[in-house]
């Protein structure tokens, strides 16, 4: 008797509960060869669901409820899925798959979680089904609809627009008058729901969906002079279209942007007074610098410092590293390598090895700081100390050679530096580089009271070239967290670091 009452109560609840919280979520869009149509969803217990009847109509499914076995059988062509009525499970052609939640019954209709389409229906359906949850799309059949996201980096006289396209899709970039560029893709449509510029410059006003569903329009600013576009491989099966918008120069110089050919006089270093409008190339790729390695700290599971608002150190370091690479390459014409160009973990030794194997001339490691006291703020520049590494390291730093016997008699002085102590040889240069970087930063941003420091830092020990580690600010300080997450502060730091490299280079010119 009691049992029956309880069961009845449960049944009532299970029917009443879902009915209480139907929520008006915006519908998915089903995109097929013959057009688009909306597909409504409802939210039950925090999970977004499709009505099984809607799916049956769309995809010609036969749905049969087997009350005795507690299942729902869904057949498409010759294959079928059996969906459990109580558990978040389904059997797809005999294989068990799990779902985020069990099917829900509301009145006479059954609802299934949206993931049911990708996990259970797609494997048995005769035409291709692709569910894109972030853009709320369901692609049916062979629809070419690449995802496109835009990023804008103001780099002095150049504004760099990067379109990340996945999967890679053939495209053209054309100029339409003086007002806009059009990027046209060989696709059926674009998956770029909220594409926008995010930042405007005097050569870029906006990025928006194009006049046709296959195009994106870039609205140009009043100082736009010319553009150049190039494709680069992007992370994980994507491609990057890098479009540089070049601004007009005030007084038309000898065209071409190259410095005038001079016999032996070294070209002057960039004037640090006007970092906002740097020339395209400050110097030919000489002057002692050929390769610079930029190390974005942390990555992958190692998130680094986490700010109160959720800013992760690993993301800030990667973002600044990418901007710095672009800026150094365009302004100094120096090759730049990143120790990581994605969100992956990289061991300290691997970071040093990349720099050493590529014979880099400088190594810049980017980090963000933390303090148990939230008031602490400011940028700090570190280089290595060998205090604490013992007498052997000190001997390496002073550069005393070992005398070794040579075949045929006599001795020869050979300097042996263990690979893991490679930095020992470069401490003086690292100190000079750190001072240059610190001075360039001090001109632009607030520094920590201890702006220039030495510490036994792991990532620097094995680096066989002048090396610094820049702590770009404290993510534990609410104000600095907000600044570091934004474009403005990141670009300021990039400008300062480029300037620091230039100052270091001019200080060493003639000594190399």
Which residue's CB is nearer to other proteins, number 220 or number 393? 393
Which residues touch 371 (CB under 8 Å, ≥6 apart)? Answer: 474, 476, 477
Near other proteins in 403-462, by CB under 8 A = 448-450, 454-459, 461
CA proximity to 79, closest of 122, 125, 111: 125
Backbone Cα Rg of the chain: 30
CB of 463 to other proteins, least distance (A): 12
Q: State how far the Cα of 209 lies from the Cα of 148, in Å rounded to an integer.
A: 10
Q: Tally Cβ neighbours within 10 Å of residue 188.
A: 17
Using CB under 8 A as the binding rule, whether residue 369 contacts other proteins is answered as yes
Report how far residue 354's alpha carbon sits from residue 350's, in angstroms, rounded to the nearest whole number.
6
Out of 42, 119, 151, 298, which residue is the one contacting other proteins (CB under 8 A)? 298
Dist CA 498 CA 479 (whole Å): 25
CA 164 to each of CA 190, 308, 336: distance values in angstroms, whole numbers, following the listed order: 12, 29, 20
At closest approach, how far in Å is the CB of 10 from other proteins?
42
How many residues touch other proteins (CB under 8 A)? 38
Quick one: 317 or 330, whose CB is closer to other proteins?
A: 317
CA distance 102 to 86: 6
Binding mask 321-350 for other proteins (x = CB under 8 A): ---------------------------x--
Least separation in angstroms between residue 493's CB and other proteins is 16
Smallest separation (angstroms) from other proteins to the CB of 435: 17
- Closer by beta carbon to other proteins, 59 or else 389: 389
Nearest distance from C-beta of residue 293 to other proteins, angstroms: 17
- Judged by CB under 8 A, does residue 366 bind other proteins? no
Pick the closer one to other proteins by CB: 179 or 454: 454
Distance from chain centroid for Cα 207: 19
Among residues 373, 391, 413, 511, which is the contact residue for other proteins, using CB under 8 A?
A: 373
- Kindly indicate which of the ranges 65-73, 250-258, 354-362, 473-481 contains the residues binding other proteins, using the contact rule CB under 8 A: 473-481
501 token code pair = 């490299």
Cβ closest to other proteins, residue 207 vs residue 368: 368
3-state secondary structure 238-262: CEEEEEEEEECCCCCCCCCCCCCCC
Q: Tell me how far apart the alpha carbons of residues 458 and 348 are, in angstroms, rounded to a whole number.
A: 7
Q: CB 49 → other proteins: shortest distance, Å?
A: 37
- Residue 133 or 458 with smaller CB distance to other proteins: 458
Q: Which structure tokens are listed for 389?
A: 């590494």
The whole-angstrom separation of Cα 504 and Cα 381 is 14
CB nearer other proteins, residue 400 or residue 458: 458
* Beta pairing partners, 137: 29, 132
Residue 195 lies near other proteins (rule: CB under 8 A): no
Q: Residues 375-414 vs other proteins: string with x where CB under 8 A?
A: xx---x-x----xxxx------------------------
Separation between Cα atoms, residue 339 and residue 469, nearest integer Å? 14
For residues 490 and 471, what is the distance between their CA atoms, to the nearest angstrom? Answer: 12
- Binding test (CB under 8 A) with other proteins, winner from 18, 304, 466, 500: 304
For residues 477 to 496, the per-residue mask of contacts with other proteins, x marking binding by CB under 8 A and - elsewhere, is: --------------------
First-to-last CA distance in the chain? Answer: 96
Say whether 472 sits in a helix, a strand or coil.
Answer: strand
- Part in contact with other proteins (CB under 8 A); list of ranges 165-173, 232-240, 276-284, 294-302: 294-302
Q: Which residues bind other proteins (CB under 8 A)?
A: 297-298, 302, 304-306, 313, 348, 367-373, 375-376, 380, 382, 387-390, 448-450, 454-459, 461, 469, 471, 474-476
């Amino acid at each position: 008797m009691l049992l029956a009452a309880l069961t009845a109560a449960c049944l009532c609840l299970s029917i009443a509960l879902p009915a209480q919280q139907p929520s008006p979520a915006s519908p998915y869009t089903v995109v097929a060869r013959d057009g688009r149509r909306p597909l409504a969803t409802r939210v039950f217990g925090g999970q977004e669901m499709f009505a099984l009847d809607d799916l049956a109509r769309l995809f010609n499914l036969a749905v049969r409820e087997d009350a005795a076995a507690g299942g729902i059988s869904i057949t498409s062509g010759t294959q079928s899925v059996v969906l459990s009525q109580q558990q978040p499970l389904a059997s797809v052609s005999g294989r068990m798959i799990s779902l985020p939640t069990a099917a829900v019954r509301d009145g006479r209709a059954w609802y299934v979680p949206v993931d049911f389409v990708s996990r259970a229906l797609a494997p048995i359906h005769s035409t291709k089904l692709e569910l894109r949850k972030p853009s709320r799309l369901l692609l049916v059949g062979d629809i070419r609809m690449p995802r496109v996201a835009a990023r804008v980096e103001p780099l002095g006289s150049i504004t760099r627009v990067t379109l990340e396209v996945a999967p890679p899709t053939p495209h053209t970039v054309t100029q339409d008058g003086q007002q806009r560029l059009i990027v046209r893709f060989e696709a059926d449509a674009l998956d770029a729901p909220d594409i926008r510029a995010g930042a405007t410059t005097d050569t870029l006003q906006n990025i928006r969906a194009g006049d046709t569903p296959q195009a994106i329009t870039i609205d140009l600013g009043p100082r736009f002079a010319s553009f150049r576009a190039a494709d680069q491989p992007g992370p994980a099966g994507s491609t990057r279209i890098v479009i540089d918008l070049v601004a007009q120069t005030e007084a038309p110089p000898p065209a071409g942007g190259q410095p005038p050919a001079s016999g032996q006089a070294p070209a002057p270093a960039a004037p640090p007074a006007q970092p906002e409008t740097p020339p395209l190339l400050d110097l030919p790729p000489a002057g002692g610098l050929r390769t610079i390695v930029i190390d974005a700290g942390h990555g992958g599971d190692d998130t680094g410092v986490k700010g109160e608002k959720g800013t992760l150190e690993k993301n800030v370091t990667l973002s600044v590293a990418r901007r710095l690479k672009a800026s150094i390459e365009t302004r100094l014409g120096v090759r730049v390598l990143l120790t990581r160009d994605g969100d992956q973990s990289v061991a300290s030794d691997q970071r040093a090895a990349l720099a050493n194997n590529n014979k880099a001339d400088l190594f810049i490691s980017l980090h963000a700081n933390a303090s148990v006291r939230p008031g602490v703020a400011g940028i700090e520049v570190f280089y290595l100390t060998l205090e604490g590494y013992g007498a052997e390291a000190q001997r390496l730093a002073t550069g005393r050679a070992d005398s070794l016997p040579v075949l045929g008699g006599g001795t020869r002085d050979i300097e042996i530096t263990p690979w893991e102590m490679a930095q020992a040889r470069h401490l003086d240069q690292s100190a000079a580089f750190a001072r240059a970087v610190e001075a360039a930063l001090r001109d632009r941003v607030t520094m920590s009271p201890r702006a220039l420091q030495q510490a036994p830092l792991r990532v620097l020990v094995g680096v066989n070239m002048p090396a610094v580690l820049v702590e770009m600010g404290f993510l534990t300080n609410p104000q600095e967290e907000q600044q570091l997450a934004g474009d403005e502060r990141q670009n300021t730091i990039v400008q300062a670091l480029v300037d620091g490299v230039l100052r270091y280079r001019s200080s060493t010119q003639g000594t190399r």
